[in-house]
Amino acid sequence: MAIAKAERLMNLALCLLGTRRPLSKRELRASLEAYMEATTDESFNRMFERDKDDLRELGLVIETVENLDGEVGYLARHDSNQLPPITLDAEEAAALGLAASVWQQARLAGAASGALQKLRAAGLPEDVDPYATHGALEPRIPVHEAAFEPLMLACRDRRPVVFDYRKATAAAPEPRQVEPWALECWRGHWYLAGWDRDRGAERVFRLSRITGKVRTRTGAFTAEVPDVVRVRETVARWAGESAERSALIRLRTGCGYPLRARATAVRPLGDGWDEVEIPYGHGLDALLVEFGPDVVAVEPAELRADVIDRLRAVAKG
Amino acid sequence: MTTSRGNRPANAIDQTRRMLSLVTYLRERPGARVADVARAFGITGDELIADLELLPMCGTSFRGGDLLDIDTDGEHIWWHNPAALSSEAAQPLRLAADEATALLVAARAVATLPGLREGDRQALLRATAKVETAAGETAEASSRLSVTFESEGGVFADVDRAISEGRRLWIRYWSPARDEVSEREIDPIRLVSVGHTYVEAWCRRSEARRTFRLDRVAEIRILDEPSEPPRIEPRDLSAGLVQPSADDPEVVVEVGPAGRWVAEYYPHDAAEELPDGGLRITIRTPAPESLRRLALRLGPDGRIVAPAELADSARGAAREALAAYGEDGDGLFDAAATTGPAAPADPAGAGAAPAGA
């Protein structure tokens, strides 16, 4: 039976952590049972390179050193792999316990637990139920988008990407070349901010509109990464939440709570209708039409015309 | 078998990560109890036993023969040769970039939750700062990821208080299906944040479990009566809040390219590509009439195909609405200029949890 990958990685990690001098590939191959089983140099080399990458992903700093004979050796020095001293009290430990449980994405959920386990090994207090002090609160970070993981890695490693992207209104996706800066989750959806190379400008992308695979490209970023990347402000503007104008509508009494919730003024007209002032941003026409005959757009004329157009389209079926 | 980084088996990585911490932890605690260690590591007893079966096959020396002699009788864990691992090799390991990112991004997001008690928030902020310091430069990449939870502040605080004090709530709640705000008394069970924040509760009016979205709560009061929800299994929400059942009626919506957002907002059974770049979307819902607002919102960008009554109802509502503008809704000429795309950040009725409909 093939030796479990976890066993192989664990042995390699312990060898590299336990040694005081660099170990050559030859020595490692002769000491790990899994490597001894490799039938060709090529398959051993491939396995070894992949294992080293995996251990580095787990945070291990592995140094490559050339010895006097020109042979390459590897070791994981204690001083560069040691967690600096950290002392957390029971309350802090419980708070981190809650935070570590919110990811609904396999890689980040695993990484968050891993972080907590390392802190646990370093003495993080454990006699507290993480939920007990936080009452009934169960925050979760949803990640449904397949593009999330490759983009997270590309943001982390600052690597350019290409992907097919379908704009909200476009029938077909088109390829985009992007230098990814940051990902942000707002209202349960993930967005990417970055530099769009073809347009030569900053753009925000919604991950659910990325079709197909995200591919990384070699080479460095060409545009400077801003100190602060604002994703939410851009998305809120799309959502019509940064309206500068105001509209006047009539609303049947008791109807349209979401419109009332954002109204700046409500005046009962006494005939079963209220007159309501509401911020006029992108998409207000479509929102008003949702309420059918219970809302009438009064002004501006442009909004009124847009609402009538939409209603006509629905009436035609 | 899998060679690409993205889809390698995650469990071998997670298990290795865990075992490295486990040896550090066990070295300090001879005779540790299986149950305690499993709890400390957030794993099941079986997972821990699997780790303990693997560890004796691992060792530090490239010459071999220095395997970790760790065993368990199922209750306690014994390490017979702790010297097999030097104290230096058994030091707690620094955080990896992904570990620091996962923990810090989540901690910063949770700290912004309006319902978090102030003491807990302060503890979380202190812990975050300490972890940032300990992580050092590996914490840098964590600024490239952020999460904002929605914050219906006042409502959240009242629900949270009612839950911790075990009291019933009176709410006025907007139901998108009927565009109506109605009063009800609920016994809150828990708060859930998935994009929006919801309270899961026992609704005294419908005598059933309901999920209420906090931004649809128009008014809230904590009552003196005790909250007495019946003992029910918490719903497993990992598959999403809206979980239509197979018996729910189907609604079929056809949208043009500008209406593709529907597939992003409404959980659906199927979304079939249409030749014009649009989609034919099949949605299952216990309350098909609640989708009339969707048909209206779509305007020129889509229409209900089935059931016919629902399509008729949407057309009827549009005609009635047009009457208020002095149009009879019949003999319509082509509306030449339609407005731009109206993909919403959040259509009022979308993702409607099965809340007191």
**DSSP-H helix ranges across chain A:** 5-18, 25-31, 33-36, 41-57, 78-81, 90-99, 106-121, 148-157, 232-238, 257-261, 284-290, 301-316
CA closest to A46 among chain B residues = B3
Which of B28, B110, B191, B293 is best to mutate for the A interface (most A CBs within 10 A)? Answer: B110
**CB of B147 closer than 8 Å to CB of B105:** yes
Nearest to A142 among B85, B163, B195 (CB): B195
What pLDDT does B8 receive?
Answer: 38
What pLDDT does B329 receive?
Answer: 47
What pLDDT does B119 receive?
Answer: 86
Residue B242, burial from CB neighbour count under 10 angstroms (0-12, 13-18, 19+): middle
**Residue B157 in this model has a pLDDT that exceeds 80:** no
Nearest to A100 among B106, B295, B298 (CB): B106
Closest to B341 in 3D by CA, of A282, A258, A279, A186: A282
Using alpha carbons only, how large is chain A's radius of gyration in Å?
A: 28
Look at B95 and A83 and tell me if their CB atoms are within 8 Å: yes
Binned at pLDDT 50, 70 and 90, residue B184 comes out as very high
Look at B97 and A107 and tell me if their CB atoms are within 8 Å: no
The beta-strand segments (E) located in A123-206 are 137-140, 161-165, 174-186, 189-196, 201-206
- Cα B320 off chain centre by: 39
What pLDDT does B2 receive?
Answer: 32
Look at A309 and B116 and tell me if their CB atoms are within 8 Å: no
Place of tokens 């003495």: A123
Task: List the 206-245 stretch of B: residues with Cβ below 8 A of A.
Answer: 215-216, 218, 237-238, 240
Look at A57 and B3 and tell me if their CB atoms are within 8 Å: no
The secondary structure of A239-255 as a DSSP string is TTTT--EEEEEEEETT-
* End-to-end Cα separation, chain A, in angstroms: 64
What pLDDT does A243 receive?
Answer: 64
User: What digits encode the pLDDT tens for the residues A62-91?
Assistant: 999 987 778 899 999 999 999 999 999 999
Binned at pLDDT 50, 70 and 90, residue A111 comes out as very high
Look at A89 and B196 and tell me if their CB atoms are within 8 Å: no
**CB of A223 closer than 8 Å to CB of A269:** no
Binned at pLDDT 50, 70 and 90, residue B335 comes out as very low
Chain A: give the shortest CA distance to residue B247, in Å. Answer: 25
Binned at pLDDT 50, 70 and 90, residue A214 comes out as very high
Chain B residues closer than 8 Å to A86 by CB: 130-131, 133-134
Sheet holding B250-255, edge to edge: B270-273, B279-284, B250-255, B302-306
Chain B: give the shortest CA distance to residue A217, in Å. Answer: 15
What pLDDT does B268 receive?
Answer: 85
Nearest to A293 among B147, B294, B324 (CB): B324
Q: Does A212 touch chain B (CB under 8 A)?
A: no
Task: List the 86-145 stretch of A: residues with Cβ below 8 A of B.
Answer: 86-89, 91-96, 98-100, 102-104, 106-123, 126, 133-142
Binned at pLDDT 50, 70 and 90, residue B130 comes out as very high
Mean pLDDT of A229-238: 78
**CB of A300 closer than 8 Å to CB of A245:** yes
User: What digits encode the pLDDT tens for the residues A119-133?
Assistant: 999 988 875 554 454
Binned at pLDDT 50, 70 and 90, residue B345 comes out as very low
Closest to B153 in 3D by CA, of B161, B145, B141: B161
Mean pLDDT of A93-100: 90
Position with higher pLDDT, A188 vs A65: A65
CB atoms within 10 A of CB B56: 13
- Its ipTM equals 0.81
Look at B195 and A28 and tell me if their CB atoms are within 8 Å: no
Is there a cis peptide before residue B347, judged by omega within 30 degrees of 0?
A: no
Place of tokens 């660099």: A22
* Lowest-confidence region among A110-114, A138-142, B196-200, B339-343: B339-343
User: What digits encode the pLDDT tens for the residues B221-240?
Assistant: 999 999 988 887 766 665 56
Percent of chain B having pLDDT more than 70?
A: 82
Residue A66 sits at the vertex; the CA angle it makes with A64 and A70, to the nearest 5 degrees, is 145
CA closest to B277 among chain A residues = A171
Q: What is the mean pLDDT of chain A?
A: 88
Q: Does A43 touch chain B (CB under 8 A)?
A: no
pTM assigned to the model: 0.73
Helix (H, G, I), strand (E, B) or coil at A191: strand
CA closest to A129 among chain B residues = B39
**Residue A281 in this model has a pLDDT that exceeds 90:** no
What pLDDT does A213 receive?
Answer: 94
Mean pLDDT of A56-62: 92
Look at B20 and A116 and tell me if their CB atoms are within 8 Å: no
CA closest to A186 among chain B residues = B148
Binned at pLDDT 50, 70 and 90, residue A226 comes out as confident
Look at A312 and B92 and tell me if their CB atoms are within 8 Å: no
**Residue B6 in this model has a pLDDT that exceeds 50:** no
What pLDDT does B9 receive?
Answer: 43
**Residue B82 in this model has a pLDDT that exceeds 90:** no
Q: Does A201 touch chain B (CB under 8 A)?
A: no
Closest to A311 in 3D by CA, of B277, A300, A293, A301: A293
* Lowest-confidence region among A31-35, B164-168, B230-234: B230-234
Give how far Cα B70 sits from Cα of B27, B61, B80, B84, B90, Å. 10, 16, 6, 11, 15
Buried b (16+ CB within 10 A) or exposed e, A118-148: bbbbbbbbbebebeebbbbbbbbbbbebbbb
Q: Does B4 touch chain A (CB under 8 A)?
A: no
Q: Does A20 touch chain B (CB under 8 A)?
A: no
Mean pLDDT of B182-190: 93
What pLDDT does A231 receive?
Answer: 82
Position with higher pLDDT, B354 vs B107: B107
Look at A87 and B174 and tell me if their CB atoms are within 8 Å: no
Position with higher pLDDT, B308 vs A187: B308
